[in-house]
Amino acid sequence: MIEQEEEIRKKLAEKGYRLTKQRQVVLEVLRGTQSHPNADWIYQEVRKRMPNVSLGTIYRTLNVLKDAGLIQELNYGSSSRRYDGKVTSHYHITCIKCGRVMDIDLPPFVELEHRAEAVTGFKVTGHRLEFYGICPECYSSLKR
């Protein structure tokens, strides 16, 4: 399930980074949650295993992991950036009541990029699609 340590080391090395204990733990924390946490939440989790880690290291680590293609950054919407241990392209939906972010099980709509390319003249390299709505829990509490 979890990517081999050597695989991770290799991806880091390609960008000139080393594999450190801190980077390993951040990655494990991110892969071990369904939530899409921000730096501070990750910091609290990592501290449980490494009490001396600093928030600055968390930020630096997240940028390194992102640069190495090991994690994904989801910074649209809220005031702080959120991270995702999944790197395969997929969409998210945010609950406008409780702020929860969920993965959406839909394949990427590549045809959207073709249409954008045709209309703009840009060489389109990617897209981001974010849905907003009310989650089942919040929806039922609205009716109560």
For its own copies, the binding residues (CB under 8 A) are 75-77, 91, 93, 95-96, 102, 104-106, 109, 112-113, 115-117, 119-136, 139
The partner in contact with residue 38, picked from DNA, its own copies, none with C-beta cut-offs of 5 to 8 angstroms by kind, is: DNA
Residue in the structure block whose two tokens are 């951040």: 26
Per CB under 7 A, the list member of 27, 30, 53, 71 interacting with DNA is 53
Among the listed ranges 56-64, 96-104, 115-123, 135-143, the one in contact with DNA (CB under 7 A) is 56-64
For residue 74, the 8-state DSSP code is E
Q: Which is nearer to DNA, 75 or 140 (CB)?
A: 75
The answer to whether 72 and 66 have CB atoms below 8 angstroms apart is: yes
Strand pairing of 91-95 and 101-104?
A: antiparallel
Minimum distance of its own copies from residue 66's CB (angstroms): 14
- Residue 77 burial (10 A CB sphere; 0-12, 13-18, 19+): middle
Q: What is residue 105's three-state secondary structure?
A: coil
Q: Which does 44 bind (CB under 5 to 8 A by kind): its own copies, DNA, none?
A: none
* Amino acid (1-letter code) at residue 5: E
